[in-house]
């Protein structure tokens, strides 16, 4: 049927230029995408090596293999502790007809991969646009995070839980939180404590921010809804706490092992104050895997200065965002001071997003305050240090990643070890690789 004249499509004049193509991704976006791909590849490679089980994994497997999925009536063996939801998933996965190194590490791998998909939107939410690719690449090449994405422990779950919670926080703006966001926050906050212990510190910060924003934009009624959501989170946490308390060993070994990680707050001496400050800076190194060619001490000092600059920059742009990012650190410190949760290494992997975000923002702010090339130089220094660490562990070192016994159960020496060695130079940093300690003669690394 012939169309009406008004409906006919007129031919385009040959002299008329074609419509412009939609703009492609800019250079920063390409760097972000490349960083995500590199991070995914490194985590898949770590998993694919199927390295030998570490003694801590072996200990936890005794509570997984051959145990009913929802058996929370018996105390966990060998002083182990993990969130009930994590235990249930792992008990189901180890039943798969594949090697336990593969099945048991599958869920941590999925969490590690998920972290790479979350880091870009998380960085865009809180950071200057020039800081976004830095944050993505820092997370992608953080060796601790890569390693724990292929270990049969809950640490990778702690990381992705913290990142998802920060991403669900109410964004800046005059509008009240949408019903969809409130529903997502309500459901997430009820579920996630069963898979991660330290995520409750992130939820606490997000919850206080939610209540304040709801009151500011919607008055008492909106604030009451926010309080009800947070009450649901707290009830879920209490349930998880009760189950975890029932399955953890009643002995004092866990408390003795982690006694060093309960910070002396408030400090009673200069030694206490110095140790607390050094421990705070050490998070950049362990578990943050922030490195430079200048050594651990110089790296920690430079990273701390830049993070303070980053905090000031974020605070000027979005005070609520600064509170949400820093609040997990404050609640972690409070729990450590009360001897309720250790502040060290792999147990605070949930703080890696806080430290990485502030450091990346600080690098971008340094360029704005001085010259833009300063940001590029700083990024190359830090990312170059991480790349060297990756090359050492993935290329030079054997695939088995032999992990010597450490009195703190750490993956590698950190800032605290370096400072301790300088003050006591006769004490070796590690056992000699030529004479590794017999694992069966050492206490099980508990968590």
In this structure, how many other beta carbons lie within 10 angstroms of the beta carbon of residue 429? 11
pLDDT over threshold 90, residue 288: yes
Helices (H) and strands (E) in the chain, counts: 17, 0
- Which tokens hold the place of 259? 């006694």
pLDDT of residue 8: 46
The proportion of the chain whose per-residue pLDDT surpasses 70, expressed as a percent, equals 87
- Let me know if 379 is exposed, middle or buried by CB neighbors in 10 A (0-12, 13-18, 19+): buried
pLDDT of residue 24: 60
pLDDT of residue 437: 40
Confidence of residue 251 (pLDDT cuts 50, 70, 90): confident
> Of 374, 430, 438, 403, whose CA–CA distance to 134 is shortest?
374
**Full DSSP string of 278-322:** HHHHHHHHTTT----TT-HHHHHHHHHHHHHHHHHHHHHH-HHHH
Cα separation of 296 and 292, whole Å?
8
- Which tokens hold the place of 141? 């090449």
The proportion of the chain whose per-residue pLDDT surpasses 90, expressed as a percent, equals 77
Tell me which of 50-64, 409-423, 429-443 is least confident: 429-443
pLDDT over threshold 70, residue 15: no
pLDDT of residue 429: 56
Cα separation of 170 and 159, whole Å?
20
> Of 110, 70, 85, whose CA–CA distance to 193 is shortest?
85
- Which tokens hold the place of 386? 């991480």
Confidence of residue 175 (pLDDT cuts 50, 70, 90): confident
> Could you tell me if 165 and 206 are in contact, meaning their C-beta atoms sit under 8 angstroms apart?
yes
Cα separation of 261 and 286, whole Å?
13
How far, in Å, are 130, 179, 209, 316, 326 from residue 166 at the CA level? 20, 18, 11, 19, 11
Cα separation of 163 and 169, whole Å?
10
pLDDT of residue 235: 97
């Amino acid at each position: 049927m012939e169309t009406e004249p008004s409906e006919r499509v007129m031919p385009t004049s040959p002299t008329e230029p074609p419509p412009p193509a939609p703009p492609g991704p800019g250079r920063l976006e390409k760097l972000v995408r490349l960083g995500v791909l590199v991070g995914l590849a490194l985590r898949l490679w770590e998993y694919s090596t199927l390295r030998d089980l570490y003694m801590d994994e072996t200990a936890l497997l005794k509570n997984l293999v051959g145990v009913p999925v929802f058996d929370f009536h018996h105390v966990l063996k060998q002083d182990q502790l993990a969130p009930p939801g994590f235990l249930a998933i792992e008990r189901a996965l180890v039943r798969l007809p594949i090697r336990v190194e593969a099945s048991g590490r599958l869920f941590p791998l999925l969490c590690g991969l998920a972290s790479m998909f979350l880091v870009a939107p998380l960085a865009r939410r809180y950071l200057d646009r020039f800081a976004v690719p830095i944050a993505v690449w820092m997370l992608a090449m953080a060796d601790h995070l890569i390693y724990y994405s292929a270990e049969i422990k809950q640490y990778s779950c702690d990381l992705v839980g913290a990142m998802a919670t920060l991403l669900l926080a109410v964004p800046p703006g005059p509008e009240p939180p949408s019903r969809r966001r409130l529903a997502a926050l309500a459901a997430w906050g009820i579920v996630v404590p069963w898979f991660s212990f330290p995520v409750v510190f992130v939820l606490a910060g997000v919850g206080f921010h939610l209540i304040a924003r709801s009151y500011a934009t919607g008055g008492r009624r909106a604030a009451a809804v926010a309080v009800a959501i947070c009450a649901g989170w707290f009830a879920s946490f209490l349930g998880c706490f009760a189950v975890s308390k029932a399955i953890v060993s009643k002995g004092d070994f866990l408390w003795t092992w982690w006694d060093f990680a309960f910070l002396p707050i408030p400090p009673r001496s200069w030694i206490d104050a110095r140790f607390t400050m050094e421990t705070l800076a050490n998070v950049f190194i362990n578990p943050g895997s922030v490195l430079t060619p200048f050594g651990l001490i110089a790296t920690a000092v430079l990273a701390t200065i830049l993070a303070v600059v980053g905090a000031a920059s974020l605070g000027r742009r979005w005070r609520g965002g600064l509170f949400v990012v820093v609040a997990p650190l404050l609640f972690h410190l409070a729990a450590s001071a009360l001897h309720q949760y250790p502040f060290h290494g792999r147990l605070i992997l949930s703080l890696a997003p806080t430290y990485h975000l502030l450091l990346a923002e600080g690098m971008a702010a340094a360029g704005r305050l001085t010259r833009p090339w300063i940001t590029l130089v700083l990024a190359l220094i830090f990312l170059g240090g991480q790349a060297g660490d990756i090359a050492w562990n993935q290329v030079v070192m054997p695939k088995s990643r032999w992990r010597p016994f450490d009195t703190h159960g750490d993956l590698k020496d950190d800032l605290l070890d370096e400072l301790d060695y300088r003050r006591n130079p006769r004490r070796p940093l590690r056992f000699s690789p030529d004479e590794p300690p017999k694992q069966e003669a050492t206490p099980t690394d508990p968590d």
